[in-house]
Structure 1
Amino acid sequence: MELTSNFKLALTIGAIILAIILKVFISTFLKKRYKKKGLDKRYLVNNIKNAINLMLIVLLFFFWSTELQRFALSIAAFVVAIVIATKEIIQCFIGFIYLSTSAPFRIGDWVQVNDNCGEVSEIDWAKVTLLEVDIHTYSYTGKTIYLPNSLLMLQSIRNLNFMRRYVNHSFAIVRESTNAVPINLISELKQKAITYCSSFKDVAERYNALIENRLDVAIAGPEPSIKISTTDIGHVKITFSLFCPTEDAIEIEQKLTTDFFVLWNNYS
């Protein structure tokens, strides 16, 4: 028996309301449950939401299949225009399939696309949502970035997930050349860098080895290094490289910067 339009409309509204309630309830329940255990299960919540959305679309298509067929026939003359108008939507959906099958990242990973860097908080059929991270300070900015899936098919994606725990942090200090001999600073500065990194030395060595094994490449670290060079106008440039916990990188940078100026003044 064919359903009436009013009945279909009522079922459609009911299905949409039910889907919203289910997503809110499941999301709240899982977040509370796993938060108590200290686990990050945002990817599970995201997958369940996408599954509910897919079931809702299939159900609505089943309800309105007859009307959709009639509608498709009635706009046959405008097919080209419709394809052009919905090109971005189609590309976003194809991009979602691409991200789901190739899995270049998952919920909770740090990624960089062009100049946009952030933690992946949600993935749906239209976009990827990032919580912006300042790549220089490794801290959240409080801003949210929305990237259409179509963009991710055309741009390179950098997965920075290893940087969430440890990072190869490099920074440089430039000083105008004086009578001081910069080479005399290196041994003292390096000893201070080793001292600041001693509390996590064992963990850093293991994590460094883990990254190298997974990527099958050699990376800098875990020993801190200091290099002397000059700028194009002859100023002295001291470059520090540290393999350290991401959350401690800026603090250690500030300590070494302070030590550098104190020692520089002592040698001047």
Structure 2
Amino acid sequence: MTEAFAFATDIFHTLADNKVVLTASLIALVLVIKIYIVSLINKKSKNKRVKINMVNNAVTVCILIGIFNIWSVEFQKFAISIAAFIVAIVIATREFIQCFIGFLYILSSRPFRVGDWIQVGECYGEVHSTDWAKLTLLEVDIDSYEYTGKTLYLPNSKLITSSIKNLNFLKRYAMHHFTITRDESVNPFVFIDELQEKAQEYCADFRDVAIRYNQLIESRLDVHIAGPEPHIQVATSDIGATQVIFTIFCPTERALEIEQNLTSDFMRFWFTQKALVKEDK
């Protein structure tokens, strides 16, 4: 008797440890019970169809609950593995996800269009094209307003983390600033009026267009900007040198030409005045 009990116990433990056998046994047992209950319904019940349907649903639920209880540890490990896999995928594709989000940002907010001049972080250029992954810029030297011949490929993720400045109005007209620094031996106020006349002379041929374009920019941005009259200011550097600061609102392609002309005039006035200072001494 003891040996039979021990044998039955071993079989039970074997079945309990072997989850596949236990699952099959559970399904077989539930199906046998289902067949028995259905046969009783067929013999004694009138409304057979509804009751049999209820039994079938109950059997299905019992099987699912039983399987879940038997394999709960494995299901938990599987869920953790799936979660870890999804996290790994997200981390691995984070840059691509950010690029796609940046692309959606471009589409929704429209901060620029193809052909606009923009600044993204420290990069300047004309927008050549956009896609879901990158922004393509034709690099522009912001000091000379000329194309460098380089092409910049910026991931769209940079559009989320960096500020975007639309510089489109610089494509036609620029508020051009430049500074000439000399020693303190000459007082620039002696010839500042003549230099101002020269600046107005160089800007005379486009003055009317500059006024209209200046007003157009102000109306679009709803702010007041300097110009279109040229402005010259005298200051000193932190080491006491004389600085003459020029602000010229002019066509972009004329900016360097006007800068060179005014620099030439300044040097001529400066050296002439310096020669007069030497003669007086």
TM-score (norm 1): 0.71
Output the CA distance in 1 between the equivalents of 2:245 and 2:164.
Answer: 28
Q: 2:196 aligns with which of 190, 211, 228?
A: 190
- Partner amino acid, structure 1, of 2:132: W
User: Displacement, 1:177?
Assistant: 1.1
In the alignment, structure 1 residue 209 sits paired with structure 2 residue 215: yes
User: Displacement, 1:206?
Assistant: 0.0
- Partner amino acid, structure 1, of 2:129: E
Q: 1:265 aligns with which of 251, 265, 271?
A: 271
Aligned pairs for 1:1-268 within 5 A: 76=82, 78-178=85-185, 180-268=186-274
Large movers: runs of 4+ above 4 Å = none
Output the CA distance in 1 between the equivalents of 2:144 and 2:150.
Answer: 15
Output the CA distance in 1 between the equivalents of 2:113 and 2:91.
Answer: 31
| Aligned-partner SS, 2:137 | strand
User: Displacement, 1:181?
Assistant: 2.2
User: Displacement, 1:85?
Assistant: 0.6
Percent identity over paired residues: 59
Output the CA distance in 2 between the equivalents of 1:185 and 1:239.
Answer: 14
User: Displacement, 1:235?
Assistant: 0.9
Output the CA distance in 2 between the equivalents of 1:101 and 1:147.
Answer: 19
| Aligned-partner SS, 2:112 | coil
Q: Deviations for 1:25-44, whole angstroms, at most 9, x for unmatched residues? A: xxxxxxxxxxxxxxxxxxxx
Q: Deviations for 1:28-76, whole angstroms, at most 9, x for unmatched residues? A: xxxxxxxxxxxxxxxxxxxxxxxxxxxxxxxxxxxxxxxxxxxxx9x94
RMSD: 1.3
Output the CA distance in 1 between the equivalents of 2:190 and 2:255.
Answer: 25
Of structures 1 and 2, the larger Rg is shown by: 2
TM-score (norm 2): 0.67
- Partner amino acid, structure 1, of 2:169: F
Gaps of 5+ in 2: 1-78, 275-281
Output the CA distance in 2 between the equivalents of 1:224 and 1:176.
Answer: 24
Output the CA distance in 1 between the equivalents of 2:190 and 2:210.
Answer: 28
Instruction: Name whichever of 227-236 and 202-211 sits farther off.
Output: 227-236
Gaps of 5+ in 1: 1-72
